[in-house]
Amino acid sequence: MSLSNKAHVAFLAFPFGSHAATLLPLAHKLAVWAPDVAFSFFTTSKSNGSLSSWPTISNLRFYDLADGLPEGHVSRGNVEDEIEFFLQAAPGDFREALKRVDEKVSCVVSDAFLWFAGHVAEEMGVPWVSLWPSSACSLTAHVNTDLIRQMIGTQPNVVSASLDKVLDFIPGYSMFRVRDLPEGVVFGPLDSLFFKSLHRMGQELPRATAIVFNTIEEIESTQVLDHLRTCLNRCLPVGPLTLLAPTRLESESDPHSCLAWLESQAHATVAYVGFGTVMAPPPSELAALAEGLEASGVHFLWSLKDRHRESLPAGFLDRTKERGLVVPWAPQPRALGHMAVGAFLSHGGWNSVLESITEGVPMMCRPFFGDHRIAAQFSSNLGIAIVVNGGVLTREAPDNETVYRVSKSLCWGCIGESIQFLFAHNMVRASHWELPLAWDFELEKYARWWAGQRKGDCKLEHSFPEDDFKLGENVFWGSGSGWTPTDAVKAWADEVKYYTYATNTCQEDQMCGHYTQIVWSSTRRMGCARVVCDDGDTFMTCNYDPPGNYIGEKPY
């Protein structure tokens, strides 16, 4: 067969998880930008089938590779076995498949997991470009596997005793501990074919002409990137690659009417729950999560495969149907981009992290395996996520340390009284599983103005006429100068003893409105101020947006 002299870029995708769906946007966009270049995309028929909704383009063709499964193989749901069968068959099958294309290959682009593509490229005398589908931080663990094993060891008892050891001997890694590492570095079945292949990947990547990262350079540690650039050739952060997907894909599939349901919800009041397509929490955690959602009163959209519904508490779906929607699949990027979604409970998969960053939705992460732990800790360090305490979902409200950490991340630059106000509010909200409030400096500015107006007389007055509140507002007065923000919030929150949720009423001759404003589910931002008045007493005021305490509505 005579080969065309037309330039030809061959893409090789890892056919498990979201790897192929991460590589295809790059191949597709390059094919659009370079119509005179031929592009081929190699992966298994099953993986190619999952990508069939993409619009066709004449210079991008798809080729099937064998999955390597023995004839008559019966899947037991063990994806590790399927991965190993594929890895055994793929090198030879890829070489043979390349012989079936019409154009001579000019460049090979492969998922980094498939390091043998570098040998194929070398045999053909063409460049090898490797795509790492996750963060630079996560690749650093694999590039430094030999160093980590030398410093930590691999004996189970030694590793177990070192789980909380900080990995500060790697540049930029002082935020990570041994327990954050992916399996295959120092723990897990290190002799398995897959983990041996990951180890080999870290050793082979320095041979690549370039490494393409599905990440955003500005969020990565400069130390990590500088370190990788000393170990590897060209490092090219080009993510998020999902943004390269054609617009047409974003509008074509919402079979369970998730977006229509979100249209009926108030701004930033919905928690989106989605743990990816590969794993789900164990039944006990699914049950605990459901109980927590029910007890909290939070509105939620939950992407949960039908086979896992049996783990939900009896009657849960009926009891929460007025404020929750549980579906077997949801268009996650579009859901996160909807104005009704205010929080994201995730496994911490890297594509989910990037979607959270892109849409500006804070996360709570319950990592499972692989790079999830590094991604979750990385996101926590950025201040955009919290990691589930102990790595296990429970019905219990977040602990004090977690609430404080989240409050700090939602109050950039806050010191002293500001963080005290915010932390105290979010502790009360956490007891009801309400989403935490964020600090708003415009609301703080307004509160400071009103506190300044009251400094001369310390009168316990609101800044708005009684029937014309533009913002939610709580005010506090205390005799003497020793009252703190925590004291004010405690006084307001103690009104709970006078409030009856079932009837949404307050005990006669008592006040409950300060408490209900604190826990009002649709409130998202707050700002407060404290002043010692001229007479030596203390006045404090907090403002809230959106406001609460609407007549006839329950707070949560």
DSSP string across 443-463: HHHHHHHHHHHHTTT-----S
Angle subtended at Cα 452 by Cα 446 and Cα 454, rounded to the nearest 5 degrees? 110
Strand-pair category, 525-532 with 538-545 = antiparallel
Return the percentage of the chain with pLDDT > 70, whole number: 92
Confidence bin at 79 (pLDDT 50/70/90): confident
Most confident range (mean pLDDT) of 128-132, 397-401, 464-468, 550-554 is 128-132
Confidence bin at 309 (pLDDT 50/70/90): very high
Q: How many CB atoms lie within 10 A of CB 527?
A: 26
**What's the rounded mean pLDDT across residues 386-398?**
66
CATH number given to 411-545: 3.40.33.10
For tokens 């996360």, what's the residue?
363
- Flag whether pLDDT at 371 surpasses 70: yes
Q: Where in the chain is the domain with CATH 3.40.50.2000?
A: 8-134+206-243, 254-396
Residues 210, 121: Cα–Cα separation, whole Å: 13
- Flag whether pLDDT at 190 surpasses 70: yes
DSSP category for residue 392: -
- Which uninterrupted H or E stretch holds 142? helix 136-143
Q: Nearest 10 degrees: CA dihedral of 215, 216, 222, 225?
A: 30
Higher pLDDT among residues 390 and 52, named by residue: 52
DSSP category for residue 470: S
Global pTM value: 0.74
Q: Where are the alpha helices (DSSP H) in 410-545?
A: 417-430, 441-454, 485-493, 513-518
- Flag whether pLDDT at 251 surpasses 50: no
| Strand spans (E) along 28-70 | 38-44, 60-65
Give the per-residue pLDDT at 144. 97
Higher pLDDT among residues 389 and 55, named by residue: 55
Domain spanning 254-396, CATH architecture: 3-Layer(aba) Sandwich (3.40)
User: Are 554 and 302 spatial neighbours (Cβ–Cβ below 8 Å)?
Assistant: no
Return contacts of 349-353, CB within 8 angstroms, 24+ apart: 349/18, 349/276, 349/375, 350/133, 350/134, 350/135, 350/138, 350/214, 350/215, 350/375, 351/18, 351/22, 351/133, 351/214, 351/240, 351/242, 352/274, 352/276, 353/135, 353/378, 353/379, 353/385
Q: What is the pLDDT of residues 456-473, one digit of tens each?
A: 999 999 998 877 778 999
Tokens at 533, concatenated:
């008045």
- Flag whether pLDDT at 379 surpasses 60: yes
Give the per-residue pLDDT at 402. 57
143, exposed or middle or buried, with CB in 10 Å at 0-12, 13-18, 19+? buried
Q: What is the pLDDT of residues 207-237, one digit of tens each?
A: 999 999 999 999 899 999 999 999 999 999 9
Give the per-residue pLDDT at 362. 81
Residues 257, 328: Cα–Cα separation, whole Å: 12
Q: Where in the chain is the domain with CATH 3.40.33.10?
A: 411-545
Q: Which residues are catalytic?
A: 19, 111
Strand-pair category, 324-327 with 505-506 = unpaired
Return contacts of 281-288, CB within 8 angstroms, 24+ apart: 281/366, 281/393, 283/308, 283/310, 283/311, 284/311, 285/366, 285/392, 285/393, 285/394, 286/311, 286/312, 286/393, 287/311, 287/312, 287/313, 288/393, 288/394, 288/395
Half-sphere exposure of 348 (CA within 13 A, CB side): 28
Biggest CA pair distance of the chain: 97
Please choose, from the candidates 410, 473, 403, 408, the residue with its C-alpha nearest in 3D space to the C-alpha of residue 438: 410
Q: At how many degrees (to 10) do helices 136-143 and 222-231 cross?
A: 40
- Flag whether pLDDT at 433 surpasses 90: no
Is CATH 2.30.140.10 the right assignment for the domain spanning 8-134+206-243?
Answer: no
For tokens 């009252």, what's the residue?
483
Higher pLDDT among residues 29 and 392, named by residue: 29
Give the per-residue pLDDT at 420. 86
DSSP category for residue 552: T
Residues 489, 477: Cα–Cα separation, whole Å: 12
Give the per-residue pLDDT at 392. 66
Give the per-residue pLDDT at 393. 63
Tokens at 60, concatenated:
């991008």
Confidence bin at 410 (pLDDT 50/70/90): low
Q: At how many degrees (to 10) do helices 417-430 and 400-409 cross?
A: 130
User: Are 40 and 63 spatial neighbours (Cβ–Cβ below 8 Å)?
Assistant: yes
**What's the rounded mean pLDDT across residues 17-31?**
93
- Flag whether pLDDT at 88 surpasses 60: yes
**What's the rounded mean pLDDT across residues 270-275?**
91
DSSP category for residue 436: P
Give the per-residue pLDDT at 476. 97
